[in-house]
Amino acid sequence: MELYHDSENNSKLSHQPYFSIVVTTYNRAQILTRALDSLISQTETDWEAIIIDDESTDDTYLKILPYISSHRNMRYIRKAHSGEALSKNAGISASMGRFITFLDSDDEYHPIHLESRKAVLIQDPSIKFLHGGAKILGNPFVPDRFDYKKVINLAECVIGGTFVVERSVLLHLEGFRRIILGTDADLFDRAKKAGINIGHTKIPTYIYHHENEDSITNMLIKSKAIAGRAYSNLNQ
């Protein structure tokens, strides 16, 4: 799998930021601003944000425009529709930061989110992949990635929005793979297998909104419509 490359990287930053935040979105104009507001409210300021629009058909760009016009550390990239995994890979390729992290368009950060993660990473420089520390709002259950007919508690899962990964590690792992469900867990498993030093935090500053009915996992739980192989790699 090749990562997306932004041929018009118009970063306005003159230095390498500590964090690159990849925000992927598709037709979430009405709630995307909550995520972006939580970004500009961060106590930690050494970051850039790359907003990847997966070819939205609503007024997403009009909602984003005031942010990218006012904040030199925010960029917007619109790409052909290809799904969440490849959208995240587009953001990874376009990023400049030392560490890359994520913010789903329907979630948000507590104001000290980035500050708290930076403190952990500075305290233990050997950590190359940090995760954990989410506050779950709404339905606490998601489909089991190995059997969609079963559900498991999010407390038993790794949550991709909490991932803070050294950029070189993500490039080495070739980003996210385009699979039906469990892209975050798949990346985490590959990092473990590769011997990447993984750290964990319990500070609950990633606010995970799982009350949205149109989320992928909630739709799967509601429909129970997918049968067959529970773990199908669409890249093959």
**Beta carbons of 3 and 174 less than 8 angstroms apart:** yes
Please give the structure tokens belonging to residue 131.
């995760």
Torsion of CA 185, 235, 225, 183, to 10 degrees: 10
In Å, how far from its chain's centre is CA 93?
Answer: 14
CB-facing half-sphere around the CA of 27: CA atoms within 13 A:
6
Q: In what order do the strands lie in the sheet with 198-200?
A: 74-78, 47-53, 19-25, 99-102, 164-166, 129-131, 198-200
Give the pLDDT score at 211. 85
Write the CA distances from 189 to 50, 133, 152, 155, 198, integer angstroms.
Answer: 25, 18, 18, 17, 11
> Which CATH superfamily is 19-223 part of?
Spore Coat Polysaccharide Biosynthesis Protein SpsA; Chain A (3.90.550.10)
Phi and psi based region of residue 188 (left: phi greater than 0; alpha: psi -120 to 50; beta: remaining): alpha
Residues of the chain predicted below pLDDT 70: 1-12, 212-236
At which residue do the structure tokens 């939205």 appear? 56
How far apart are alpha carbons 209 and 186 in whole angstroms? 21
Give the pLDDT score at 11. 61
At which residue do the structure tokens 């935040």 appear? 21
- 104-152 confidence digits (pLDDT tens): 999 999 999 999 999 999 999 999 999 999 999 999 999 998 888 899 9
Domain locations in the chain as residue ranges: 19-223
How far apart are alpha carbons 133 and 200 in whole angstroms? 8
Give the pLDDT score at 220. 45
Give the pLDDT score at 125. 98
Specify the pTM.
Answer: 0.86
Other beta carbons within 10 angstroms of residue 211's beta carbon come to 12
